[in-house]
Amino acid sequence: MTTWSKRTKQVHAGTRRSQYGEVAEAIFLTQGFVYDTAEQAEARFVELGEDEFIYARYGNPTVRMFEERIAALEGAEDAFATASGMAAVNAALTSMLKSGDHVVAARALFGSCLYILEEVLARFGVSLTLVDGTDLDQWKAAVTPGTKAVFFESVSNPTLEVIDIRAVAEIAHAAGALVIVDNVFATPVFSDALAQGADVVVYSATKHIDGQGRCLGGVVLGSAEYIRGTLEPYLKHTGGALSPFNAWVMLKGLETLDLRVRAQAEAAQALAGALEGHGKLSRVIYPGLASHPQHGLAMAQMGSGGTMLSIELAGGQPAAFRFLNALKLFTISNNLGDAKSLVTHPATTTHQRLPEEQKVMLGISPGLVRVSLGLEDPADLLADVTGALAAV
């Protein structure tokens, strides 16, 4: 299996078959498991074997297939699946931190991630320093021998800043800190974050991995020592487990992940290129464009600009709302990575809780619209966007 390509691993890695020899993965929709004897039950609670289970909060065969498949795809030693992407972020951080610890994070983060860092962890005595994630000098100044973890989105939401994983990891590791990367925008297709220096990678499987707007899910990937020694006890006792049915949906999503994401990225590149310089727009943000501040890094680190872009309408929020309401093919939704093309207005939805000065600092302006490309014909998508811009 180690010689298989990513695309092949997405289809076959981690497969378990019952005695019936099914082709499609089975859904083991059970919360508990039966023991032949009391002695067997006792032995399992002392130490589980390779293919043994005791309770769905601890593990399940369908969930384990998903964990093993995405771990093989990511090149990780192990993985633990969670009920949502935010459950994964929370567990990855909270399981390893205690009062008095210090975290350094990029300031450009999804609002819920900021909430965990600034409010939840702060209540338990964890201190935080936020930096401009694209400025390595700020990372060097903020990371100290007392820093236990650094956290950042490899491509930020929604302004698409690209963080140099390898460079930040070198700074963090020199101080003994763990590197935790939220890799949602980069996707498992375009990113090799662990190979580039990350210790832990987090995904919201709700996004590209499901990719069809059906289920919530998340996953944390890393070394076996971290996943089983640090993360698993925390999740087993706090209950953030992925349901077997959702795990099955994610397994089916992984089978077509490569095909979908590459098609979405091609559409994003085409749309961004066609819109750059449009008279109704003050800027087009897409890592695949030469005008993007981290274009070279994005190409070296991912080989693609990804499936997401953002546009800023020159007329501010009124223009952005008129544009959104004039779209016919794109759907207004705060999700992303879907087979359907989606748009959202971050300043009033996903990032609305941020103070105004923080929005300004992060570039989340009233005219900014985040665009997630789907699987529709790129020509139809361009026609829809240009038609809606004409209505502004």
Residue by residue, DSSP assigns 200-224 as EEEEETTTTTT-SS----EEEEE-H
Q: Which stretches does DSSP call E strand in 144-303?
A: 147-153, 178-182, 200-204, 218-222, 281-285
Encoded amino acid at 192, one letter: D
Instruction: Express each pLDDT in 48-88 by its tens digit.
Output: 888 899 999 999 999 999 999 999 999 999 999 999 999 99
pLDDT score of 159 more than 70: yes
Q: Are 120 and 230 in contact (CB under 8 A)?
A: no
* Three-state DSSP state, 358: helix
The amino acid at residue 122 is: A
* Six-digit token string for 372: 């997630």
Q: Mean of the pLDDT values across residues 122-128?
A: 97
pLDDT of residue 208: 98
Give the position of tokens 């077509």: 256
- For residues 54 and 42, the answer to whether their CB atoms sit within 8 Å is no
Q: For the ranges 41-55, 160-174, 192-206, 272-286, which has the lowest average pLDDT?
A: 41-55
pLDDT at 1: 67
- Cβ count near 166 (within 10 Å): 15
Looking at residue 153, its pLDDT comes to 98
Residue pair 88/219 in contact by the 8 Å Cβ criterion = yes
Q: What percent of the chain has pLDDT over 70?
A: 100
Cβ-contact 159, 285 below 8 angstroms? yes
Global pTM exceeds 0.75:
yes
Nearest to 44 by CA among 13, 162, 36, 232: 36
Task: Write out the two tokens for 136.
Answer: 């390595």
User: What are φ and ψ of residue 390, in 5° steps?
Assistant: -65, -25
pLDDT at 173 exceeding the cut of 70: yes
Nearest to 13 by CA among 23, 24, 26, 4: 4
Round to whole Å and give the CA distance between 12 and 305: 27
- Predicted pLDDT of residue 329: 97
The C-alpha atoms of residue 196 and residue 86 are separated, in whole angstroms, by: 23
Residue 235 has which token pair? Answer: 């999740």
| 307 vs 286: CA distance, rounded Å | 9
Q: What angle do CA 74, 201, 228 make, to 5 degrees?
A: 90
Per-residue confidence (pLDDT) for residue 25, from 0 to 100: 92
User: Token match 């919360």: residue?
Assistant: 31
Cβ–Cβ contacts within 10 Å for residue 210, how many? 24
If DSSP codes are grouped into helix, strand and coil, which group holds residue 264? Answer: helix
Residue 191 corresponds to which amino acid? Answer: S
Average pLDDT (357-369) is: 93
pLDDT in tens, 234-244: 999 999 999 99
Average pLDDT over the chain reads 96
Q: Which of 55-59, 181-185, 302-306, 350-354 has the lowest mean pLDDT?
A: 350-354
Q: What pLDDT shows up at residue 178?
A: 98
The more confident residue out of 362 and 198 is: 198
Mean pLDDT calculated for residue range 238-264: 97
pLDDT the model gives residue 3 = 87
| Cα separation, 39 vs 295, whole angstroms | 60
What confidence tens digit (pLDDT) does each residue in 82-115 have?
A: 999 999 999 999 999 999 999 999 999 998 999 9
> Alpha-carbon distance 37 to 390, whole Å?
72
Higher-scoring residue by pLDDT: 65, 13: 65
**What is the bridge-based pairing of β-strands 218-222 and 281-285?**
unpaired
